[in-house]
Structure 1
Amino acid sequence: MQANLQWLDDPEVFRVNQLPAHSDHHYYHDTAEFKTGSRFIKSLNGAWRFNFAKTPAERPVDFYQPDFDATDFDTIQVPGHIELAGYGQIQYINTLYPWEGKIYRRPPYTLNQDQLTPGLFSDAADNTVGSYLKTFDLDDAFKGQRIIIQFQGVEEALYVWLNGHFIGYAEDSFTPSEFDLTPYIQDQGNVLAVRVYKRSTAAFIEDQDMFRFSGIFRDVNILAEPASHITDLDIRPVPNANLKSGELNITTKVTGEPATLALTVKDHDGRVLTSQTQTGSGSVTFDTMLFDQLHLWSPQTPYLYQLTIEVYDADHQLLEVVPYQFGFRTVELRDDKVIYVNNKRLVINGVNRHEWNAHTGRVISMADMRADIQTMLANNINADRTCHYPDQLPWYQLCDEAGIYLMAENNLESHGSWQKMGAIEPSYNVPGDNPHWLAAVIDRARSNYEWFKNHPSIIFWSLGNESYAGEDIAAMQAFYKEHDDSRLVHYEGVVYTPELKDRISDVESRMYEKPQNIVAYLEDNPTKPFLDCEYMHDMGNSLGGMQSYNDLIDKYPMYQGGFIWDFIDQALFVHDPITDQDVLRYGGDFDDRHSDYEFSGDGLMFADRTPKPAMQEVKYYYGLHK
């Protein structure tokens, strides 16, 4: 198969040769590697050779050939944004598409046109291109194994070659993309070529309120899989009605040769609670395990059990060890139309959190993530909406450990397709009811579910943000309901299409709704509990009216709290030659017209993670309903 540039123009082509999404578990050769690191993972982070092209027509066409002369290429750091490395245009924009007012462009298969638009992005003057090259050798532990490459985040369209052979294509900037390199891998001198386009048809459904970057902005790893390997782990801990006992069901997917799987579950103190052995390949399911004297997971006591599965070959040689922490908890929407977690009414003291670092943009570190967790705990914040995309893989484990509820959101926002300068005008809304966009958004729901399905911190799946609503989003909800009965589903945009409210969202979710309007809803025989998915827009000297929302919590059980917009400013440090100081710059400060200017600065913290005075209000009022 050869790469096709026209895939950029087609919403029905969003993954080619990409491996199926799976659980986010780690695997090691033995337990000693839990501390030293797995021999089965090799990071390709660091310096890559790089070429920047302003348009697809200017790209180095054959750069992926092993004998290509790349002496004129620059060097770029991975992970990193192309724009922050000095190429292209830094641009922030809120609701509109970034090309509006410059290029006429509409989503394919809309406006009564049942066709593609040739050259929509593949021959576009505003579609910058990054061509990356990396040479690597295989470590001894990798030789003779199945070799997978994992890109944890690439914005926005990704083509991959190895040693001159086309490997695959992927979109969906914020979920991992994996490809099998095995047919073309060499022990030494491998040439990995990656081409990243800033825009494809995915741009119509990745129109989030954020700086618009491109490039390989999350980790890149080479993974080796032993002869028998657990590719997926599905953990189903279910408390009984008394919340004192429960059962655990675990299913794995094993690739390669049939293997023996030895499972052990320990409590937080390391005591063995149960063990079991199963043999097989493909889908391997363990017998139901019963638990007495459960410790429930909650924000107050985020109790995690330790699962370990050892994989042995036919000669009982240990091939790999898979550890995973999991928790028991319940999430229920009862007949009284109130959400309960572990038999207690749910109160969300939440924030919306973009991933951000003032120096590196959406390239954030473990230190950044841990600092955010500590800030949340210190200020009585008990919930995070991953606005408006899946976060880096470690974030979900950190929230499990800290007891932070998660609303795990899909990478979906098509704001510019239905709201124009404040007016609701969905004439070319996508995904809408459009069958040509259905597979792409279902794939995004599937990826979000598969990667993060085992995390007790996730109590809501969120279908996306500000994308209006239609049959395609209803189908996303149906996907989650079919696969997961342990969580609820959230979506705000159905407020504009009330005829779909019985099929989309378990909650009445609104943005920036006035307290008196919430009261009117709650006193009018409502059908769903109410949740503010965005409120208290913390821009300028905002956040002075928290008490009026807090009072609703005490008066109306169906009012379940909300998520403040938002947690941290999106701003970048720039050196000012006049003052000779590093200063923070916001939307509109980079000659990036058009712009929503300081709308990028509406966080509870400045972009350098310094809390604003408003954080004091949050700590006080959120502390009243811990």
Structure 2
Amino acid sequence: MTDVTHVDRASQAWLTDPTVFEVNRTPAHSSHKWYARDPQSGQWSDLKQSLDGEWRVEVVQAADINLEEEPATAESFDDSSFERIQVPGHLQTAGLMNHKYVNVQYPWDGHENPLEPNIPENNHVALYRRKFTVSAPVANAKQAGGSVSIMFHGMATAIYVWVNGAFVGYGEDGFTPNEFDITELLHDGENVVAVACYEYSSASWLEDQDFWRLHGLFRSVELAARPHVHIENTQIEADWDPEAGTASLDAALTVLNAADAATVRATLKDADGNTVWQTTGDAEAQTAISSGPLQGIAPWSAESPTLYELDVDVIDQAGDVIECTSQKVGFRRFRIEDGILTINGKRIVFKGADRHEFDAERGRAITEQDMIDDVVFCKRHNINSIRTSHYPNQERWYELCDEYGIYLIDETNLEAHGSWSLPGDVLTEDTIVPGSKREWEGACVDRVNSMMRRDYNHPSVLIWSLGNESYVGDVFRAMYKRVHDIDPNRPVHYEGVTHNRDYDDVTDIETRMYSHADEIEKYLKDDPKKPYLSCEYMHAMGNSVGNMDEYTALERYPKYQGGFIWDFIDQAIYAT
């Protein structure tokens, strides 16, 4: 990221600058829940306020507006002529933009020929607006010295944000949260948020997934208040030693304004609410929590997804709890041992599927019930694992996989297939994005960082993926390094090294797409160093999955660890 911080004016130049992928965005952090006591009512609140529901929107050609002077961003703008749209939702499913589906190529191929990082002239921007009054718990937290952010959980493809006419920030990577501090911009009474959501930006070169190209604010938007003293981030290691039969809990905390609190108390509870372990320490010093060996802990696995709850309380000088955080914890050990992927000391075989978030009416703006239906279907049909192809999913999905017991490969929002593969799978190395191009490194490292910071504490996440079908290059080495700088334990998956074995070091697993069973067996017989996974195989869209037995027969080789069928649900949109 170039040095673009605390900017108070929007610039359209960011749309074609790959080194600018966020402006004024809050650093990525864990998705734990936090609660505080309302100083007015005395009631506990999660300090969240949903901005979902009806918004106003107008879709225009990007060339027809000047962001620096766009009247629709003003607080007093009359938006009565704008269309109504539901958020979460897509512009296409609302009938405001045309549906597009392309596989390898970029959606502008055959129409325009921009060279990266430039974007096509036929580019749409949706001007969103919503009025809101700040809820009492959020407003009271602000008045008590806290802060308030606006959080966009999912959008495509790039957004500029204003509150009450003042520029807030810019964000890309719409499959992880884009969060901005708006504390100083809110006022009593009615407030206005305005968003310019662009169809294409330089980020589009990194988002060439084989799916319907759907745009808009497709996940929830919310306000989130933080009390003055706040646990901003938790990074939890919940280990289970299969030899000793004991567990251990280690957590790193980031506490904002810790000097203004007295103590931090951590409590581990079982499913019945019984306290299993507890510790208390000085708030400024208590940035690391360590339990030592814990007896009687049941390990987490897909077959037995036992969860505990870690509550961390911030206590003031008077002995009152001023904030509490809550995070579900599953104790398990996932490692590569002697070249074999193991969970809790036992070899694992992934009986998986690649899953897009998708509904025939709502597109990727799926509901909690959609997710519950999917995870129950998995459990009923012996699907024990999902690869989040090809982007991080909604946060609720990970909670459900923790609860029901589903193993996850968590995949970075990155696919650049059309930049290096011409029709007929002809390699064009000079056009590769990101490859080894330094100007793309910051954005790609940021994407894997944002995913990991958000999802780190979920026991269901076993493997980190650097993305999909984006060839390889030095940028992936930088991404791989970031993963293991943050997480020394979970392995990295990246299939792209099969196209250039000089980069075998950027994946901990030998992972291939659509390899024949005899090719896999040849690998397994050759004393391989790495375990083997088929990250895509059996292409089941409209097919019968007829030769599955040839793959299940490979399970006799210890380093064959299963795979993920393409794909879980057909991406079909209802049409008349």
Normalised-by-shorter TM-score class:
over 0.9
Q: Does 1:331 find its partner at 2:327?
A: no
| Counterpart position of 1:483 | 486
Among 36, 47, 50, the alignment partner of 1:29 is 36
Matched, 1:312 2:315: yes
SS at match of 1:216: coil
Q: How does 1:29-48 map to 2 (within 5 A)?
A: 29=36, 38-48=45-55
1:49 to 45, 56, 69: 56
Letter matched to residue 110 of structure 2: G
Would the aligned equivalents of 2:541 and 2:570 in 1 still touch at CA under 8 Å?
no
The residue number in structure 1 matching 2:399 is 397
**What is the match of residue 604 of structure 1?**
none
Q: Distance in 2 between matches of 1:409 and 1:379?
A: 23
Query: Do residues 67 (structure 1) and 76 (structure 2) align?
Result: yes
Corresponding residue to 1:279 among 278, 282, 289? 282
The C-alpha deviation readout for 1:318-361, integer Å capped at 9, x for no partner, is 322211111111112122x2111111111000000000111110
The match for 2:253 is 252
In structure 1, the partner of 2:3 is none
Whether the 8 Å CA contact 2:360–2:571 is kept in 1: the answer is: yes
* Equivalent residue, structure 2, for 1:131: 127
Contact kept? 1:59, 1:129, Cα under 8 Å: no
The residue identity in structure 2 corresponding to 1:67 is S
- With over 3 angstroms needed to count, the CA separation of the structure-2 counterparts of 1:2 and 1:282, relative to structure 1, is farther
**Conservation of the 8 A alpha-carbon contact between 1:245 and 1:293:** yes
Question: Structure 1 residues 85 and 283 mapped into 2: Cα distance closer, same or farther (>3 Å)?
Answer: farther
Measured in 2, the distance between the counterparts of 1:346 and 1:153 equals 33
Residue equivalent to 2:541? 539
Structure 2 unmatched runs, 5+: 1-7
How far apart are 1:271 and its partner, in Å? 1.9
Q: Which of 84, 87, 96 is residue 93 of structure 2 equivalent to?
A: 84
- SS of the aligned residue for 2:253 comes to strand
Q: Which residue of 2 aligns with 1:609?
A: none
SS in structure 1 of the partner of residue 268 of structure 2 = strand
CA contact (8 A) 2:242 2:345 kept: no
1:441 match: secondary structure: helix
Change (3 A) 1:560 1:525: same
Whichever residue aligns with residue 20 of structure 1, its letter is P
* 2:457 alignment counterpart: 454
Partner SS state of residue 401, structure 1:
helix
Aligned to 1:97: 106
Aligned to 2:22: 15
For residues 417-438 of structure 1, give each alpha carbon's deviation from its aligned partner in whole angstroms, at most 9, with x where no partner exists: 1111122222211111110000
Change (3 A) 1:37 1:496: farther
Cα 1:96/1:305, change in 2 over 3 Å: same
Q: Deviations over 1:558-588 (max 9, x none)?
A: 11100000000111112x3xxxxxxxxxxxx
**Does 2:273 correspond to 1:270?**
yes
C-alpha deviation, 1:62, in angstroms: 2.0
Return the TM-score normalized by structure 2.
0.93
Cα distance per residue 1:35-54 (max 9 Å; x no partner): x9944111000111111103
Q: How does 1:485-564 map onto structure 2 within 5 Å? A: 485-501=488-504, 503-553=505-555, 555-564=556-565
Which amino acid in structure 2 is aligned with residue 140 of structure 1?
Answer: A
1:290 to 272, 288, 293: 293
Corresponding residue pairs, total: 555
Q: Following the alignment from structure 1 to structure 2, what is the Cα–Cα distance between the partners of residues 541 and 469?
A: 30
Tell me how far apart the structure 2 counterparts of residues 481 and 70 of structure 1 sit (CA, whole Å). 48
Q: CA deviation at 1:71?
A: 2.6
The answer to whether the Cα contact below 8 Å between 1:255 and 1:281 also exists between their aligned partners in 2 is no
Judge conservation of contact 1:243–1:342 (CA < 8 Å) in 2. Answer: no
Q: Percent identity?
A: 40
Task: Give deviations 1:419-461, integer Å, cap 9, x for gaps.
Answer: 1112222221111111000000000011011000001111100
Partner of 1:567: 568
Letter in 1 for 2:28: A
Residues of 2 paired with 1:410 and 1:216: CA distance? 19
Kept in 2: contact 1:228–1:313 (CA 8 A): no
AA in 2 matched with 1:174:
F
Give the Cα separation in 1 of the matches to 2:242 and 2:26. 38
Deviations 1:63-105 (A, max 9, x none): 1112222232221111110111111210111111000111111
Rounded to whole Å, the distance in 2 between the matches of 1:251 and 1:278 is 13
Normalised by the size of structure 1, how large is the TM-score? 0.86
Q: Which amino acid aligns with 1:217?
A: F
**Pair 1:37–1:516, CA change in 2 (3 A):** farther
Q: Is the 8 A contact 1:243 1:294 kept in 2?
A: no
Deviation at 1:241, TM superposition (A): 5.4
Whole-Å separation in 2 of the counterparts to 1:492 and 1:130: 35
Shift of 1:58: 4.4
- 1:430 corresponds to 2:433: yes
Stretch of structure 1 that moved more, 429-438 or 250-259: 250-259
Partner SS state of residue 427, structure 1: helix
User: Is the 2:246–2:294 contact (alpha carbons within 8 Å) kept by the matching residues of 1?
Assistant: yes
| Alignment partner, residue 362 of structure 2 | 360
State the alpha-carbon separation in 1 of the partners of residues 195 and 318 from structure 2. Answer: 40
2:277 is paired with a residue whose SS is strand
1:107 maps to 116
Runs of 5+ in structure 1 lacking a partner?
Answer: 109-119, 577-626
CA contact (8 A) 1:229 1:254 kept: yes
Report deviation, 1:525: 2.6
User: Secondary structure of 2:431's partner?
Assistant: coil
Matched residue type, 1:539: M
Indicate the residue corresponding to 1:374 in structure 2.
376
Aligned residue type for 2:470: S
CA contact 2:45–2:137 (8 Å) conserved in 1: no
Matches within 5 A, 1:107-256: 107-108=116-117, 120-121=118-119, 124-143=120-139, 144=143, 145-240=146-241, 242-256=243-257
Shift of 1:125: 2.9
Report the Cα offset of residue 486 of structure 1.
2.4
Alignment partners' CA distance in 2, 1:317 and 1:341:
41
**CA displacement at 1:283 relative to structure 2:** 7.0
- The amino acid of 1:348's aligned partner reads F
**Distance in 2 between residues matched to 1:18 and 1:243, nearest whole Å:** 44
Q: How many Å separate the matches in 2 of 1:402 and 1:213? A: 30
Task: Tell me, yes or no, if the aligned pair for 2:448 and 2:479 is still in contact at 8 Å.
Answer: yes
d(CA) in 2 for partners of 1:469, 1:537: 24
Change (3 A) 1:184 1:318: same
What is the CA distance between 1:140 and its match in structure 2? 1.9
Match of 2:4? none
